[in-house]
């Protein structure tokens, strides 16, 4: 066998080996493509399931968010009024003359009502005058003053009610 024939056979074997290698790679690529398509279909099915769950959960989640936002607004309002309430109690305590017992304080919106007992009408009037000097109470007015005799208080006391307005927030 000549050298030329030998190289001819070698070229043929190389060519067949190359085709075999390309065929093997094509089979592997086709198998991998099939796996990827299968994986893609699986992921699409899972995404569809999750989207269905989102549709079910979204209204519940939305209502829960609304509830939390409402709570947040209430907390913010309470937090905003806390300083005002502390100032109000401080002013009432500082301006209360001797002989006055405060029985209750009610705040409704911008209106404040102070109920209590005084040893006399003059002491109740002094309390109203003292509250008039408060920077956070506007126009305190004695709306009720009546005499009471009772065993648990002194022989003579005046039950009073005072209303005042809080200034508008700036």
Report yes or no on 108 lying in a domain: yes
Strand partners, 106: 113
Both 40 and 109 in one domain: the answer is: no
Indicate whether 47 and 106 sit together in one domain: no
Q: Which domain holds residue 142?
A: 98-165
Res 154 pLDDT > 60 = no
Tokens 């100032």, residue located: 87
Global pTM value: 0.51
The rounded distance, in Å, linking the Cα atoms of 125 and 131 is 10
- 68-107 pLDDT, tens per residue? 999 998 888 777 777 788 888 898 999 999 988 888 888 8
Count of structural domains within the chain: 2
For 132, other C-beta atoms within 10 Å of its C-beta total: 14
Q: What is the pLDDT of residues 6-33, one digit of tens each?
A: 677 788 888 889 889 999 999 999 888 8
The residue from 40, 64, 95 where one domain ends is 95
- Of the candidates 115, 120, 118, which has an alpha carbon nearest to the alpha carbon of residue 100? 118
Which residue, of 39, 60, 95, is where some domain finishes? 95
- Residues 37, 43, 45, 48, Cα dihedral to 10°: -140
In this structure, the answer to whether residues 50 and 7 fall within a common structural domain is: yes
Asked if residue 170 belongs to a domain, the reply is no
Phi–psi pair at 122, nearest 5 degrees: -65, -40
- Compute the distance between CA of residue 48 and CA of residue 43 in angstroms, rounded to an integer: 9
pLDDT for res 11: 86
Using 50, 70 and 90 to split pLDDT, how confident is the model at 155? very low
Q: Do 88 and 39 belong together in one domain?
A: yes
Kindly report, residue by residue over 35-72, the tens digit of the pLDDT: 888 999 999 999 999 999 989 999 999 999 999 999 99
**Whether residue 66 sits in one domain with residue 133:** no
Q: Give CA–CA dist 111/107, Å, rounded.
A: 6
In a domain, 11, yes or no: yes
């Amino acid at each position: 066998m000549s050298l030329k024939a030998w190289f001819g056979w070698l070229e043929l074997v190389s060519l067949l080996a190359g085709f075999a290698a390309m065929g093997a790679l094509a089979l592997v690529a086709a198998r991998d493509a099939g796996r990827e398509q299968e994986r893609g279909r699986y992921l699409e099915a899972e995404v569809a399931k999750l989207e269905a769950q989102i549709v079910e959960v979204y209204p519940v989640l939305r209502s829960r968010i609304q509830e939390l936002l409402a709570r947040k607004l209430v907390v913010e309002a309470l937090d905003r009024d806390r300083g005002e309430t502390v100032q109000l109690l401080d002013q009432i305590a500082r301006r209360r003359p001797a002989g006055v017992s405060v029985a209750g304080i009610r705040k409704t919106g911008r209106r404040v009502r102070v109920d209590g007992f005084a040893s006399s009408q003059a002491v109740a009037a002094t309390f109203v005058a003292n509250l008039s000097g408060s920077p956070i109470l506007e126009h305190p007015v004695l709306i009720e003053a009546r005499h009471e005799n009772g065993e648990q208080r002194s022989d003579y006391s005046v039950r009073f009610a005072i209303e005042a307005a809080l200034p508008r927030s700036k």
